[in-house]
Amino acid sequence: MRVVIAPDSFGGTLTAAQAAEAIAAGWARGAPAARLVPRPLADGGPGFVDVLHAALGGAVHRRTVIGPLGDPVEARWLFHDGTAYVESAEAIGLHLVPPARRPTACETATTHGVGELIAAARAAGAHTVVVGLGGSATTDGGKGALAALSERVGEPLDLPGVAALFGPRLVAAVDVENPLLGPHGAAVTFGPQKGADPAAVERLEARLAAWADDVASRLGRDPRAEPGAGAAGGLGFALLALGAEAVSGARLVRSATGLDQALDHADLVVTGEGSFDWQSLRGKLVTAVAAAAAERGVPCLVLAGQVGVGRRQAAAAGVEAAYSVAEHAGSVAAALADPAGTLADLAEHVARQWL
């Protein structure tokens, strides 16, 4: 049996490469005769640069930028064959904000650092800048990023100038299909994960709506309802307003890593992420992997830290079965105490079932 192992990162516990290694180790114990093909992936969020660097090569650059809290952070971006790949989570990731500070930081966190990375990539000669969106601590609608880019133009928040200089050369690699506003928007859907209580969510929603009105009046474009506008706390909206092309981050990485070629010869596909829930069904990586497997008639399994998707929902997304590390380990605490070990144990258990 040829098994393709293609997970995303597991929240802040395992990178995609570490998750793939753990699944492979457990699967090898449960099914020693299986031929394992690891293909760690990313959908634009955490791990975007690492996964693409492993697949494409190129040069990783480092730059100190303003982090989500206004403090300096070191962030990386990848330069390959004239294209720069920027991972927004490197500069504004939720992991950069201590849990105790999130209830206040959720309303003040800035995307400024991402704008600095985009400007640095262009200054280095990149003809195209692909911005991976996901895993952010921010809900500023990309206002900070546009302010940073405007500094390069020479005037504060000169949106037409920024659009003319950067827009045609930008690609937004989104990890979700959510719009900017509304019940599935950036504030309502992702604000609570970043520390926002119901009152803060209402304030963030109002600010995003006012910001969208401002941007639309200045640029004559209003992408607030477009899929992906709500990615990275609305940073997707800002890039789309500049004229960026929106693409699926999962599909981009799928192509770069040669996943399709691996799936052509696969008997089984195993993917995974930290939490397999309803958000996973809105453009996340696991559904892209499942769709690619379904196109070839190959069964796809999901191993996740936690599973919040029912069997019918999973089946509709092309997932044969989904397994929870926390359930197998006995509790979330047990799973988090040894992320790699408990994921490997689950993989061994599932492999024995699928023999």
Report pLDDT for 286: 87
Compute the average pLDDT of residues 77-101: 97
Cα–Cα dist 236/218, whole Å:
17
> What band does 156 get if pLDDT is binned at 50, 70 and 90?
confident
Using one digit for the tens of pLDDT, what is the confidence trace for 128-146? 999 999 999 999 999 999 9
Question: Cβ neighbours of residue 308 under 8 Å, at least 6 residues apart?
Answer: 275, 276, 277, 278
Distance of CA 114 to the CA centre of its chain: 14
Backbone angles phi, psi at 277, to 5 degrees: -135, -165
Report pLDDT for 350: 97
**Percent above pLDDT 90 for the chain:** 81
Report pLDDT for 201: 98
CB 262 within 8 A of CB 58: no
H-run or E-run covering 308:
none
Q: Which residue, 43, 51, 49, 63, is CA-closest to 20?
A: 51
Domains and CATH numbers, the chain: 2-40+258-353 (3.40.50.10350), 48-250 (3.90.1510.10)
Using one digit for the tens of pLDDT, what is the confidence trace for 37-69? 999 998 888 899 999 999 999 999 999 999 999
Report pLDDT for 284: 75
pLDDT at 283 over 70: no
pLDDT at 211 over 80: yes
- Which pTM value belongs to this model? 0.88
Report pLDDT for 176: 85
Report pLDDT for 68: 98
Reduce the DSSP state of residue 307 to 3 states and report it.
strand
**Percent above pLDDT 70 for the chain:** 99
Which structure tokens are listed for 211? Answer: 């910001």
Report pLDDT for 153: 79
Compute the average pLDDT of residues 190-216: 97
Using one digit for the tens of pLDDT, what is the confidence trace for 303-320? 999 999 888 988 888 999
Which structure tokens are listed for 183? Answer: 């019940």
pLDDT at 76 over 90: yes
Using one digit for the tens of pLDDT, what is the confidence trace for 224-238? 999 999 999 999 999
Using one digit for the tens of pLDDT, what is the confidence trace for 160-189? 999 998 988 999 999 788 999 999 999 999
Compute the average pLDDT of residues 336-354: 95
Cα–Cα dist 327/315, whole Å:
20
Report pLDDT for 279: 77
